[in-house]
Amino acid sequence: MSISLAGAELLALFLQSILYGVFVVLAIGTAIVVHRKDGKRPARMLLLILLFMMLSATTYLVIDFIRAFNAFIAAAPADMYYGNLANRLFTAKCTVLIVQLALGMCVNVRNGYTPNTGQELTET
């Protein structure tokens, strides 16, 4: 049994919405923990990256909802709409995903570098 492209996009949108809710809860928790560092200055760079990650995840989800609206309500058949890879919204969605992945990799590299050098998470 195969699933259509439109069905796969709707399933992906549903799962992305659930994971976005988890991400928001984790992001708020991370911001609270990083901000309260027992008298030390918070790591502003991590808070800034967290803000950009929130913005890019929100942008990605909004673009996905706009694409779903266009595919199922405003445009032609959904499979034809989702099959058009030259669509500007698809290009914007891919660009936002690449930015979000790059930011995530930068955080992973920094967190791997920090324990090996003995540095604190505060800025000097």
pLDDT at 124: 45
| Alpha-carbon 122 to chain mean position | 25
0.75 exceeded by the pTM? yes
pLDDT at 21: 96
Q: Are 35 and 27 in contact (CB under 8 A)?
A: no
- pLDDT per position as a tens digit, 4-34: 888 899 999 999 999 999 999 999 998 888 8
* Below-70 pLDDT ranges, the chain: 37-42, 111-124
Tokens 């760079």 sit at which residue?
Answer: 45
Q: Which two tokens stand for residue 43?
A: 């790591």
pLDDT at 62: 96
* Alpha carbon distance 105, 11 (integer Å): 26
- Taking CA atoms, 120 is separated from 30, 39, 56, 81, 112, in Å, by 16, 13, 27, 49, 12
pLDDT at 114: 62
> Which of 28, 24, 42, 46 shows the shortest CA–CA distance to 106?
46
End-to-end CA distance of the chain: 58
